[in-house]
Amino acid sequence: MNIGKVVQVIGPVVDVVFPSDGQLPGICNALTVDYTVMNKPVRLTLEVQQHLGGNWVRAIAMSTTEGLRRGLDVVDTGADATVSEALTLTTGSGTLGGTYSMAAVGGVADFAGKGLNIDLVGSNKVLTATATITAGVKTTTTSPAFAITAAAASKLAYTTVPGTGVAGTAFSVTVESEDANGNPSSPTSSTTITLSKASGAGTLSGTLAGIIGTSATSVTISTPVYSKSDTMTLTATATAGDTGLAAVTSGNIVFSPGALSQLVMNPTTISSATVGTSASGSFVSITAKDANGNVCSSGPNDFTSTVAFGGTAGATGTSAAFTHGVLSSFPALTPTTAGSGLTITATSGAAVGTTTITTVNKADQTISFTLSSPVANNASPITLSATATSGLTVTFTSSDPSLASVSGTTLTIHRAGTVTITANQAGNSNYNAAPAVARTLHITGFVAGADAVTRQPNSTGIKIPLATLLANDGLVNADGSLDQTGLTISSVTSGSGNTVSISGAFVLYKPAAATDTAASTFTYALSNGGSSSDTGTVTVSTAVAATPFTLTLIRVVTPAAYMLRADLTPYEISELTS
C-alpha cells in the first residue's frame, strides 16, 4: 500500500508527500484520508491534480477540509477518482442528442465522434459537464457559450394554419422550409410551394401558390378559398425548385357556411291557387344558403332570422324565425291577384327566393242582401244595402220600374204591386260574378194596373172587355194578393189618336183612322166603391199585317178539282190539281 503524509492544507488544495522509494500516485488517482472531527470519523477523498517534484503531489479535496491537518496518513487507492462524465444543455433552447454520458478513462471522458447534437438553432448555448467521483462525489464545469446553426432544409411545415374557416371566404397559411429537426432553413434554390386539398368534399380556389426564396425560410399564402361547409385538410408541396422538400398536410380545418346569398323555395312551382284562399299548404320549406349552396346552419352565419313574403300574386306576410337555416312552417299566404305565371317571393336583404304559381284562379263571391217587405205605396225612398264577400260594390235593379225604381242605392216607390229587387255583383279581374240575389217587395195600396191590347190592322175598332182591364187591378195586400172586391170602371178618357167609350161590359175603342199603325193609349177611372181609386192606362197596339201572296193556277182538270187555299204553297196547289 502506497501511503503518504499531509504536508500542507490551503482550503481545498492539499499537498501530500510520498516516500522517495515508493511510486507517486497517478494524475486523477483517488487519495483517502481518515481522521476524526469532533469525535466523529471522517473519510476525505482527494483527487491528484499535479506532481510538484520532491515526491510531492497536489490534490483537490472532493469535500470540505475542515479538521484536516498536517501529518495525517494519506492512502493512494490506485484508482481514477473520476468514474464518469455526463453533459447537459443548461443554457439555450433545444434538446441535447447523441452520446452525452460516458465512463472516464484516466480521468478523461472523450465525447469526440459520439454524435453530440442540439436540435434547435440559436446562440449562447452552454453545456455543463458533471463528473462523478469515487464515493459518489460530483463536480461540474461549464463550456463557453456557442451557437448552433440549421442543417440543410429537408421538409416543409406549417407555422400558421387555421383550425376553422368560413366557406367562400379567403383564409391564410404560412409554410416554412425546415431542417430535419424543425429549424427554419432556406432552400437551396427558389422554391414554389403549392397548396392542394388533401380531404374534403369542396373545391379549393383562389391563390394557391407562393415562393420561398433562397434567403427566406417561409411564405404566406393569404387568399386560398374553400367552397364547402365541411372538414378539409390542406397539403403544401414543393412543386418547383427544391422539390425534395417533404410535403406537409395540415390538421383538420372546419369550415362553417358563408353568409346568406340565396333562399331556396320548395316547391318552386305551384300548379294553381285561388284569390282569397291561402296557398301556405302548398309549401314544404325554404332553405337559406350561401353563394356555394351550403345551408346556413352553423357558425357565424347560422341563419335564424325571418323573411318577408311578397310577389306578383299579392300574398304578403312575415315568416317565423328560421331554425338553423330552414323554415318549415308558413303564415297564411293568400293571393289577391288572379292571372298566369304569378309569384310568391321570400326576401331577406339581397337574398330572394321565388315560387311561381302557374294559374291563380278568380275567387268566387257571394252577396248578402235583405229587404223588408211589405211597404206602403206612399212610403219614402228606401236606401238599399248589400255586401259582397269580395268587398266589391253591389248594384241593384228593379223588375218593374213603374212600381219601384232604383237609382244607385235609392229605391223609390211609385205605386202598389209586387216587384223584384235584385242585387248584383259582376266581378272583376280577381273575382267571378256573384250569384244574383233577388228579393220580392210587396207594395201595398190600391192600384189600377197597366194593360196592353192589340187590334188587327185596318180595323175600325175593337171591343175590350171590362173584365180584362180589371184583371190586374185591386187592393194589394201585405202578402202581394189582390183584393178585387167591388171594382168598377166609372169612366174612360180618350187619348191622342183614339176615341173610347163604355158600352155595357165593354170599352169601345176606335182609332182615328183604320190605317193607323202607331200605338195609342187611353185611361180609365177605377174605384172599389169606397175611398180607394186609381187611374189605369191601356196601350193599344196594331198587329203586324200579313204579307200578301200570289196564287198561281197550274192546271184545271175538272171543276171539282179546282180549289184555292190560302194556306197552301204553290207546290201543294200543284199536287192538288195534278
Last residue of a domain, one of 381, 410, 445: 445
Above 80 in pLDDT, residue 236? yes
280 lies in which domain range?
266-361
**Band of residue 79 on the pLDDT scale cut at 50, 70, 90:** low
Strands 73-80 and 117-118: unpaired
Are residues 72 and 101 located together in one domain of the fold? no
Is residue 308 domain-resident?
yes
Q: Is there a single domain that holds both residue 287 and residue 235?
A: no
Say if residue 241 is in the same domain as residue 283: no
Question: Do both 306 and 356 map to the same domain?
Answer: yes
Q: Which helix (H) or strand (E) holds 236?
A: strand 231-240
* Under 8 Å between Cβ of 283 and 334: no
pLDDT(567) > 90: no
Map grid coordinates 296557398 to a residue. Answer: 279
Q: What single-letter amino acid sits at 367?
A: I
Q: Are residues 514 and 436 in the same domain?
A: no
Confidence tier at 83 by pLDDT (50, 70, 90): low
Q: What is the pLDDT of residues 101-159, one digit of tens each?
A: 876 665 567 788 878 888 777 788 888 887 776 555 566 778 788 788 889 999 999 99
Please check whether residues 229 and 300 belong to one and the same domain. Answer: no
217 shares a domain with 189: yes
- Has residue 570 got a pLDDT over 80? no
> 110: buried, middle or exposed (CB in 10 Å: 19+, 13-18, 0-12)?
exposed
Burial of 485 per CB tally in 10 Å (0-12, 13-18, 19+)? exposed
227 and 293 share a domain? no
Domain with 235 in it: what CATH number?
Answer: 2.60.40.10
What is the distance between the alpha carbons of residues 395 and 324, in angstroms, rounded to a whole number?
53
What sign does the CA torsion over 336, 342, 346, 352 have? negative
- Number of domain units in the chain: 7
Domain for residue 261, yes or no? no
Ranked by mean pLDDT, the top range of 9-23, 28-42, 384-398, 441-455 is: 384-398
Does residue 562 have a pLDDT over 50? no
Q: How would residue 219 be classed by pLDDT, with cut points 50, 70 and 90?
A: very high
Question: What does the alpha-carbon distance between residue 22 and residue 75 come to, in Å, rounded to a whole number?
Answer: 12
339, 361, 383: which is the final residue of a domain? 361
Of 445, 473, 508, the one marking the end of a domain is: 445
Domain CATH number, residue 535: 2.60.40
Average confidence score pLDDT of the chain: 90
Residues 136, 161 within the same domain: no
- CATH number of the domain where residue 406 is located: 2.60.40.1080
Lowest-confidence segment of 140-149, 356-365, 470-479 by average pLDDT: 140-149
Q: Is pTM, for the whole model, over 0.85? A: no
Least confident residue range of 202-211, 336-345, 520-529 = 520-529
